[in-house]
Amino acid sequence: MSGRIRVGLVGIGNCFSGLIQGIEYYRRNPEQSIIGIIHDRLAGYGIHDIDFVCGFDVGENKVGRTINEAIYAHPNMVDWIPADTMPKTDALVHESPALDGVGIWVENRIKPIRSTKTAEQLRGEIVRTIRETGTQVLVSYLPVGSEEATKFWAQVCLDTGTAFVNCIPSFIASDKAWAERFRQKGVPVIGDDIKGQVGATIVHRTLARLCNDRGTRITKTYQINVGGNTDFLNMKEQERLVSKRISKTESVQSQLDERLGDDNIYVGPSDFIPFLGNTKLMFMRIEGRQWANIPYNMEVRLEVDDKANSAGIVIDAIRLAKIALDRGEGGPVIPASAYLMKHPIKQMSDPDAKAACERFVASEGV
Ligand SMILES: NC(=O)c1ccc[n+]([C@@H]2O[C@H](COP(=O)([O-])OP(=O)(O)OC[C@H]3O[C@@H](n4cnc5c(N)ncnc54)[C@H](O)[C@@H]3O)[C@@H](O)[C@H]2O)c1
């Protein structure tokens, strides 16, 4: 299979900025091997075979601009490729219904457009845009806590036959009822909540698995994350975090031989430190017991650019969603969701998930 992939974007924030600037980085540096992806070409699709054909946002300084301009608009802060050297594109950012997308902490920074249109009016315009642009895969990078907005976009995908990649912890691909709707319509969905390349989740899962594989018992563990972008600012609103906590905690719990009691595990985004920008710091501790019930513990500090971390994964998710679409496979793409997402409908160990992805790409079944 080969060809191009026509992608629509929901939420033109830092993650998308990193994705698009990263693709441009590799275009300018063709001698460099592409770091992190499963393969340069997945069933024929390379990273330069992606066309971003439409975008959707609520920011008054993003709606109406081209995607390549909007990715640099405040409060976005990814600046890997100078804005004035970015290739010009025609693809526009269109208005999205705000619904529950903008939380109390970020509304001064995002400044939502003052809309005169209802969500239903916008739905009609959006469906038209998706059809006119020939969008095949829609990727959602909405803010955490956008439960209603995520359902809106999942329904748009079902109505238009567009594959859905849900990068946030609002459960669609991992929700039985939504998964069934996608299956019945023959529309692929990959989700939920992207698992960074070398992020807090994968490091925590891997070390927890190591402790159990070496026969020790884990008794307590925590993971604290801080960062300085709008994603972290938004997550100061505790009410928006319910599904994020479930997603992050279950991702670790699923790797343990014995589940930890609620009081013995804490996994969460924990605070906003403005000067960190897109740098995320993760502090993790595991306590356990080994031979003769002797205690041990470990602590890890991870410092990472959160946007590079996410883009290196979504570039595969987009291509895997298109492969499923080409093959007419509807419903959750299980290997891709298990490998790339924190909260898939079916959790696997990370090596098993990667092997299942390889088999899926090679079309050997999972
Ligand atoms: N490593 C990672 O960065 C990572 C990992 C897992 C999940 N995520 C999730 O990805 C999401 C995006 O992260 P980000 O850093 O790009 O966030 P961001 O705050 O930079 O961008 C969010 C964008 O969504 C827009 N928006 C808000 N409400 C909207 C609506 N109703 N419709 C359309 N657009 C709307 C905002 O205007 C903004 O442009 C977050 O939920 C984050 O938690 C990121």
CATH number at residue 291: 3.30.360.10
Q: How many CA atoms lie within 13 A of 305 on its CB side?
A: 14
Lowest mean pLDDT: which of 43-47, 81-85, 173-177, 337-341? 43-47
Task: State in Å: Cα 296 to ligand 1 middle.
Answer: 38
Find the DSSP H helices in the chain: 14-28, 67-70, 107-110, 119-133, 147-160, 176-185, 200-213, 230-234, 242-253, 306-326, 334-340, 350-361
pLDDT at 37 over 90: no
Confidence of residue 276 (pLDDT cuts 50, 70, 90): very high
In ligand 1, the atom with minimum distance to the C-alpha of 99 is 31
Are 180 and 249 in the same domain? no
Rg over alpha carbons for the chain, rounded to the nearest Å, is 20
Are 264 and 334 in the same domain? no
What is the reported pTM?
Answer: 0.95
Are 219 and 246 in the same domain? yes
Per-residue pLDDT tens over the stretch 197-224: 999 999 999 999 999 999 999 999 999 9
Cα distance between residue 57 and residue 50, in whole Å: 20
Cβ count near 1 (within 10 Å): 11
Q: Would residue 12 count as lying in a domain?
A: yes
Q: Would residue 62 count as lying in a domain?
A: yes
Are 84 and 174 in the same domain? yes
Question: In 3D, which of 115, 68, 121, 113 has the Cα closest to residue 93?
Answer: 68
pLDDT at 244 over 90: no
pLDDT at 363 over 90: no
Chain Cα centroid distance, residue 155: 18
Q: Would residue 322 count as lying in a domain?
A: yes
Using a pLDDT cut of 70, give the percent of the chain over it: 98
pLDDT of residue 366: 57
Cβ contact 267:252 at 8 Å? yes
Q: Which residues contact 66 (CB under 8 A, 6 or more apart)?
A: 88, 89, 90, 91, 92, 93
pLDDT at 109 over 70: yes
Query: Which residues does a 6 A CB cutoff place in the pocket of ligand 1?
Result: 10-15, 56-59, 76, 96, 98-99, 101-102, 110, 141-144, 149, 167-168, 193-194, 196, 199, 229-231, 306-307, 309-310
Are 184 and 100 in the same domain? yes
Are 92 and 231 in the same domain? no
Q: Would residue 366 count as lying in a domain?
A: no
pLDDT at 269 over 90: no
Q: Would residue 175 count as lying in a domain?
A: yes
The helix/strand/coil state of 217 is: strand
Task: State in Å: Cα 102 to ligand 1 middle.
Answer: 10
Lowest mean pLDDT: which of 31-35, 133-137, 206-210, 356-360? 31-35
Are 285 and 260 in the same domain? yes
Q: Which residues contact 252 (CB under 8 A, 6 or more apart)?
A: 201, 204, 205, 208, 221, 223, 265, 267
Nearest CA to ligand 1 atom 22: 13
| Secondary structure letter of residue 85 according to DSSP | G
Mean pLDDT, the chain, integer: 94
Question: In 3D, which of 267, 270, 222 has the Cα closest to residue 248?
Answer: 267
pLDDT of residue 242: 86
Cα distance between residue 295 and residue 252, in whole Å: 21
Q: Would residue 127 count as lying in a domain?
A: yes
More confident call, 244 vs 314:
314
* CATH code where residue 121 lies: 3.40.50.720
Are 96 and 244 in the same domain? no
More confident call, 129 vs 44:
129
Domain that holds residue 281: 200-304
Are 177 and 95 in the same domain? yes
Nearest CA to ligand 1 atom 9: 168
Q: How many CA atoms lie within 13 A of 125 on its CB side?
A: 14
Task: State in Å: Cα 239 to ligand 1 middle.
Answer: 17
Q: Which residues contact 6 (CB under 8 A, 6 or more apart)?
A: 51, 53, 133, 134, 135, 136, 137
- Written as one letter, the residue type at 76 is N
Are 51 and 169 in the same domain? yes
pLDDT of residue 365: 58
Are 129 and 189 in the same domain? yes
- Total domain count for the chain? 2
Are 176 and 312 in the same domain? yes
pLDDT of residue 191: 96
pLDDT at 36 over 90: no
Mean pLDDT over residues 333-359, rounded? 95
pLDDT at 25 over 80: yes
pLDDT of residue 41: 86
